[in-house]
Structures are given as structure tokens and as C-alpha cells.
Amino acid sequence: QAGTWWGRKCLISVMIALFLAGTLLALVGVVFEMAPLMLLSCVFAGLSGGVQMQGAAFVADISLDSTFTRNSGLFKFSVAMGSVVGMILHSLLGSLTVLYIVIAALAAASLLLCTFALPDWSPPKEKRKSPTSKQLRNALLLCHIVRRAWKLTTHTRLLLAAQFFEMAGFTCVRIWLFNYAIFHFGFKSSMCGVFILTIFFTGGVATAVGTRCAQAKKGADRLYWLQGAASAIASFGPSKPVTIWIM
């Protein structure tokens, strides 16, 4: 909601700056072995966690009805491919110090692009209004957000509920996969990296292809059934590494 008050470009820039600050704190913490700085960097990383949501909202604001699905798919594809590149960098850069330096450089480049290249179009400036103290307070209260959600149409509430349960199930299965693969099959660090990279890569490709080749409702139906299929494979599949890779 803050993006509608001050503009999404401003908010995205602030979040990237927070992430950059957190990365620099983590770098100093690693170099000088200071655990409090590492913990503080996690706080900054959490504060910058909404940048992807603001980016998706920016894409939605500047897209036409005819191009919204394609642009949203390309945005999610770029996020997934960025995660893949990040995993590759993690595997190539052995030193944690060098890794944080590279991350800081990438964050700085992203901040520069956002500041000087991203147009301030979302939302239009004439539609922005400074928030009142009541609006600020309500935006911070989770109960108020839930109450507003129940004022939406039945169809929208069902979509939100479906997305909630789908993500809860997906996260549960994914965490189980990571722990099970590491402890049961003895996956090494490099193999875990390949495992996570495969998940992000297939997710990005599926998003890009799905948004271009499938209608939204049909695509969602297929994806929700795949979530159940993954759980069934975990429950009844053979206790072998191939089961983990299929999931």
C-alpha cells in the first residue's frame, strides 16, 4: 500500500538500498567475525523483502490488459533466472568474503538502474496521496489487512485462499525435500546447490511457458494438481534419490 502513497519506484529504491546496507553489514561481520553485525544484516534483509512484490505491482500498473499475462510471466521468469545465476555464483565463489563483495556490487548496480533508468510511472503522480496517521496505523495492523480482504468479492477471496494454501503446501514440501535429501541421502553442499538450482530453473521455465501458452484458469488448475501430485510422490514413491529429483 505504501507504493500507492509515495510511488513504487521510491519504495523499490529504498528496499534495494536497505538490502545493500544489510549486505555491507554482513561483509564487515564476516571479515571481522562479528556475529551482531550478521544478525543486524538479517534485519535489513527482512526489511527489503517486499521489493519483489513492489516490482510485480509496478509491472501490473504499466501493463495493458492484453499484455499483463505476458509481462507478469516475464517478470517471474527473470526472478527465477536471477535465482539460478545467484546459485551458480555461490558455487563458483568459494570465499564468503568475495561472495558478499559480489552481492554488494550487484545490489549497487540494481540501485543505480532503479534510480536513473526506471521511470516513475507507478502509480501516476496525480493519483498519489500522502497517508494519514490512521492509514499508516492500519497498514501496520495484520488484523486490519485481513478485515479488508473479507470485504472483497467471493471470487477474489477464494483466489487468495487458494494461493495461501498452495504456498503453504509448497513451502512445507520444499523444506521437507531439503532436509530429507540432506540427511537421508547424504547430499553434499554442491549437490544441494544443484538441487535448489533445478527447482528455480524449472519454476522459471514453467512460469514463462505457462503464461504464454495457457489460459490463466486452466494453467492454475494444472499447477494446483501438480502440487498434490508432488505430495503423493513423496508419500508413496520409492525411497530413492530419483524420487527427490522427480518431485
CA–CA separation, 3 vs 6, rounded Å?
6
- The tens digit of pLDDT for each residue in 10-62 reads 888 889 999 999 999 999 998 888 888 989 998 898 888 778 888 888 888 88
Asked if 76 and 212 touch (Cβ cutoff 8 Å), the reply is no
How far is Cα 117 from Cα 157, in angstroms, rounded to an integer? 36
Lowest mean pLDDT among 19-23, 82-86, 171-175: 171-175
- pLDDT for 71 equals 83
Model confidence, pTM: 0.69
The full DSSP string for 91-151 is: HH---HHHHHHHHHHHHHHHHHHHHHTS-S-SS-GGG--PPPHHHHHHHH-HHHHHHHHTT
Burial of residue 135 (number of CB atoms within 10 Å: 0-12, 13-18, 19+): middle
Question: Mind listing the pLDDT tens digit for each residue in 194-229?
Answer: 777 777 777 767 666 666 655 555 555 556 566 666
> Span 76-99, mean pLDDT?
80
User: What amino acid is encoded at 181 in this protein?
Assistant: A
Confidence bin at 63 (pLDDT 50/70/90): confident
Asked if residue 105 has pLDDT above 80, the reply is: yes
